[in-house]
Structure formats: structure tokens, C-alpha cells
Amino acid sequence: MIFIIVFSVLLLDQSTKALASKNILLGQTIPVINNIFHLTLVHNKGAAFGIFKSQTALFIITSLTAIIIISYKLKARAAGRLDIFVVSLGLILAGALGNLIDRLFFGYVVDFLDFRIWPVFNIADSAITVGAILLGWSILFNKK
């Protein structure tokens, strides 16, 4: 079941990035809800919020390391039930894969979701963030 979640998030991420890249010019912003939510195409060569620009090799190595560790953890728990911990790792894995694909093929990550009070991001970034929150929750509140 977890691989369906990973695949679905990865497919959603890559397809929305492709749509944004095809229909929005680099740097162009399209208001969806004026001054609240826009679609803005950005090519991010850095990490979160654009820090560490042009460190593509470092991000690829870090992503690959995270993907290997998470895959190992998921494989070890594959026989178990689907819980918050497993879902959190699946979301982080999908996000890491989505942004890694961009870095490998383009040398940057495609971002396009723009809430104006936050740096522009994408579905993969959202999956990583939600996954990290769920992971923290499962670690803090899991009674095992």
C-alpha cells in the first residue's frame, strides 16, 4: 500500500511540474486568488528557500542517501500495517524522489506554488514537509 502512496505523490508532483513548465513562463506569476495564491514558475538551484544555490551535487548525494535509508526502513516494515510512521516515510521518500528527478534531468527543481508570504514551492516540497510533521508526531506520541 505504501508504494501506491509514494507512486501517486510522485506522479502528481511530476505532472504538475510539467504542466507548470509548459504553461507558465519562467518568472511569470498568474494570480489564482489575487495577493494570496499565485502560480509562479521558479527554477530553484538551491535547497529550501533557495539557500545553498548551485550545490546540485551535494543535493543529489543527500537525496540519494535519504532515499536509500528510507527505502531500507520501509522494506523492513513492509509486512507490518500502514501507520503514521510508514506514511510519513512514504511522503518524504516521494518528495525526495520528485525533487531528485528534477535535479538530475534539469539541474534545478521546478517550483510553482506561490502563497506570497512563503517562498515558492511544489508538491514534492509539500510531501516532505507533511511527512516530516507526521514523522515527528509518530516519534513523539507513539506508545511502542
75/92 Cα distance (integer angstroms): 15
Closest among 23, 29, 2, 9 to 95, alpha carbons compared: 9
Residues marked as catalytic: 111, 125
pLDDT higher than 60, residue 144: no
pTM of this prediction? 0.88
Average pLDDT, rounded, for the chain:
90
Listed range (26-35, 87-96, 134-143) with the worst mean pLDDT: 134-143
- The grid coordinates listed for 83 are 501507520
- Strand pairing category for 29-33 and 37-44: antiparallel
b (16+ CB within 10 A) / e for 87-116: bbbbbbbbbbbbbbbbbeeeebbbbbbbee
Terminal Cα-to-Cα distance of the chain (whole angstroms): 22
